Structures are given as structure tokens and as C-alpha cells.
Amino acid sequence: MEQPVLKVESLTKIFTRKGRPDMKAVDHISFELMPGECLGLIGESGSGKTTAVNMITRLLDPTEGRILLDGDDITGISGRELRKVYAKMQMVFQTPAESFDPRRTLGDGIGESLRNNGWGRARTKMEVAELLERCGLSADFASRYPHQVSGGQCQRAAIARALAIKPKLLICDEATSALDVTIQKEIIALLNDLRWKLGGNLSILFICHDIALVQQFCDRVLVMYRGKIVEQGRPDDVIRNPQNDYTKRLIESIL
């Protein structure tokens, strides 16, 4: 049997604060992501999607549970080992403009992971130009600053940055929700195109609160509510035959 790219086992995050009851942001979630698969993760604001993703990318330490990337346990690692892991896993953020350093060019940002992995300046520059073109931008965007480009262009650059190191897992944390509808469609088309070109080499974890978008784009969907996974299955099945109250309300609110 094929090995999952990402396997999450009873991942939990409890935020503790003095004088307040403990907050279970993510409550024992488990799921697997197979190579080439696109998994949607939906849920309302505050349902723990972003917390879960931050734990998977190890930007946040989990309270409990294990994260396996490509079969390796990455839950407890740090420093140099963790940096190596980031060559397999990349993320596209919700706010395109803020995901680039305002004082550095887009090209610097896109090439950063390559430079960190020992690429030379000239080779990185060429690769950045190619990446930009693959994401539908001209090569001269490399010398622009984040405030000089539009949200959609910035998100394309962010996708280029995420793909630079050729990761196996791409996490899109509400990558389209800050964009207007037409641009959203373009970005989805771009992601679809990249998926088709890269085939089994790229798995996507697609976090979203728009169930229609998930239906279009994902092979499988997880529904999160109050830190728990309440429902999962093929998007069409979930939409036609929702089992959970929250899922029902979510679908009704759109129809």
C-alpha cells in the first residue's frame, strides 16, 4: 500500500491561560493525505483549521498527538532537522501582501528557500524567473516589492515561492479568501493546472470556508467544528447527504 504524504494522529492543541478555562482549539483530529490527493478542510472561523495547520507546519507546538510527513515523525524535531523538513512542505498564506517581507523584493522571497538550500545567486535568479512564469507572472515581477503588486499577483508569487523547493505537500491556508471572486477563480485554475502538471508529486491540503470551492477543487473533504472533525468524505457525498448538523447548516447557508 502506498504511504501517505501526511499522517496526523490525534493532534490536539489546548491553549491554557491563567484565570480562564482551558481552550481546546484542536481536539484529537486524525487524518491521512495520500500522494497526489487534494484534501479540503472546511469549517467556520474559530473551528481550529488554522491552529491545526500551524501545528502541521510546526510553527506551533502541539499539546498532544503525532505528525508524520512522508513516514517520518516530525512532531518533536527542531532546528536544522526541522529546516530540512520544510523542503517537503510549503504553505500559501491567507493574506497575500503580508506574506512577503515589505522591505524585500518578491524575487528575494521566492528564492529564499533555494538560497537556504545552497543554490547560487545566478541559478536562483533563473529558477525564480521560471517559477514566476509558470504561475502566470512575467519574470520582471522578481524585482518588485509587495506593495507594488495587486493581491492576486501577490498570491501567484506566493504560490511560486511555495513551489520553489518542489515540496511534496502544499498547504493552502485560505489562500483564496482575501481575493475577489474573479481572481479567486484564476488562482484555483492555476492550482488545478499545477496539480495536473505535477500529478502524484504534489498533494494539497486546502483550507477553506467556502464549500462550493472545495467541491470544485478537492478529492476529499474534512469538516471541522469546534476543534473536531465532524464529517468526512467525497465533497459531492457530503454536500448531497450531510450527516452532521453543522454541515447541514453550512450547506443550507449557501443554497
Partner 1 sequence: MSEATVRIQKIRKDTVKTRLILFGTLAFLLLIGSVFSEHLTPCDPYLQDLTNAKAAPSAAHIFGTDRYGRDMLSRVIVGSRASIYSTLLLVAVITVVGTGIGVFCGWHGKWIDTVLMRISDMFLAFPGLVFALAVAGVLGGGLQNAIIALAAISWPKYARIARSQTLSQKETPYLKAARLSGSGTWKIIFKHILPNIMGPILVTSMLDIGTMMMELAGLSFLGLGAKPPIAEWGSMMSDTRSLITTVPWVTFAPGLAIFVSVMIFNLLGDTIRDYADPKNRGR
Q: Can you give the binding site for partner 1, defined by CB under 8 A?
A: 57, 59, 83-84, 86-87, 89-91, 93-95, 98-104, 109, 112-113, 116-117, 158, 161, 165
| Amino acid occupying residue 114 | L
Q: Report phi then psi at 224, rounded to 5.
A: -105, 140
- 165 vs 198, which CB is nearer to partner 1? 165
Shortest spacing between CB 103 and partner 1, in angstroms: 5
| CA nearest neighbour of 146 among 104, 93, 91 | 104
Shortest spacing between CB 108 and partner 1, in angstroms: 9
Shortest spacing between CB 59 and partner 1, in angstroms: 6
- 10 vs 78, which CB is nearer to partner 1? 78
Residues 52, 26 contacting (CB under 8 angstroms): yes
Shortest spacing between CB 245 and partner 1, in angstroms: 33
70-90 b/e with 16+ CB inside 10 Å = b? beeebbeeeeeeeeebbebbb
Q: Report phi then psi at 127, rounded to 5.
A: -65, -40
Shortest spacing between CB 162 and partner 1, in angstroms: 8
- 21 vs 102, which CB is nearer to partner 1? 102
What is the 3-state composition of the chain as percent helix, strand, coil, each rounded to the nearest 5? Answer: 45, 25, 30
Task: Give the sign of the dihedral formed by CA 161, CA 163, CA 167, CA 169.
Answer: positive
- 170 vs 238, which CB is nearer to partner 1? 170
Q: How far apart are CA 217 and CA 60, in angstroms?
A: 28
- 58 vs 220, which CB is nearer to partner 1? 58
Shortest spacing between CB 154 and partner 1, in angstroms: 11
| CA nearest neighbour of 11 among 58, 77, 70 | 58
- 158 vs 222, which CB is nearer to partner 1? 158
